[in-house]
Amino acid sequence: MRIDKIIIPIAIQDKLASKHGIQIDEARQTLLNQPRIRFAEKGHTSGENVYAALGQTFSGRYLIVFYVYKPKVYTAIIISSRDMTKKEKRQYGRK
């Protein structure tokens, strides 16, 4: 999946920091650091689905990032992110 642009809306930036303790750069790094991507759910707009990216930040933190992918402009709009569960870490390790 080609991603040329990553967008994080202001409201999501605030939620990531306050609720999940995740910095904006960490969410971006997870998408840029060869994540394991899986389909999460069908989007509201045709062709724009929600995906989950399991990966690591450059410092080694394991995160899962949920985003809407806009294939026509190769853009990922991050809608949430959190630390991986133990089960998700095992799945990621089998990459």
| Domain assignments of the chain as residue spans, ordered by start | 5-93
Taking only the tens place, the pLDDT of each residue in 29-76 is: 999 999 999 999 987 887 789 999 999 999 999 999 999 999 999 999
pLDDT at position 24: 94
In this predicted structure, what is the pLDDT of residue 95?
A: 57
Concatenating the DSSP letter of every residue in 22-71 gives --HHHHHHHHHS--EEEEEEEEEETTEEEEEEEEE-TT--EEEEEEEEET
Query: Which SS3 state, helix, strand or coil, does residue 1 take?
Result: coil
In the CATH scheme, what is the homologous superfamily, with its name and number, of domain 5-93?
Answer: Ribonuclease toxin, BrnT, of type II toxin-antitoxin system (3.10.450.530)
Q: Is 30 helix (H, G, I), strand (E, B) or coil?
A: helix
Predicted pLDDT of residue 18: 94
**Considering the entire predicted model, what is its pTM?**
0.90
CA nearest 82: which of 2, 15, 11, 7?
A: 15
